[in-house]
Amino acid sequence: MDEPTTSFTSNQVEVFFDTIRKLKNHGVSIIYITHNLKHIFQICNRITIIRDGKKILMSNVDDIDMDSMIFAMTGKGKESKEIKKTDIIKTNKNLEPVLKIHNMNFGKRLSNISFELYSGEILGIAG
């Protein structure tokens, strides 16, 4: 879900979050994209921060604070000690992708599509 609560009232947000919590309790995984950082602490278990097309941070929500998230998102501000070096994802030349797609084409509409998927990553494609 990409910014699903943007036009919700606060009551609608709570009803929506209750539904998400019920789905989580039934083992349903949800990818929730938001810039409302308070929402992350209310409903999320894990967080992945992507900046400039690169995965910057993966962490359990319980292991991160607001300052750390903001720093990871912007690269600016006061870096919190809550960010552990092991949480920061850096390119590792020894790591092999589990899937490589290079220069894939779909007719005339989509061309030169390339990406690599590594173990533990979740790939989402939208258009």
Tens digits of per-residue pLDDT, 5-53? 888 888 899 999 999 999 999 988 888 888 888 888 989 988 888 887 8
Tens digits of per-residue pLDDT, 104-115? 888 888 888 888
Tens digits of per-residue pLDDT, 48-80? 888 878 888 888 888 888 888 888 888 776 544
10 Å CB burial of residue 61 (0-12, 13-18, 19+) is: middle
Q: Which residues contact 4 (CB under 8 A, 6 or more apart)?
A: 16, 32
Q: At residue 82, does pLDDT exceed 70?
A: no
Tell me the β-bridge partners of 49.
57
Tens digits of per-residue pLDDT, 44-56? 988 888 887 888 8
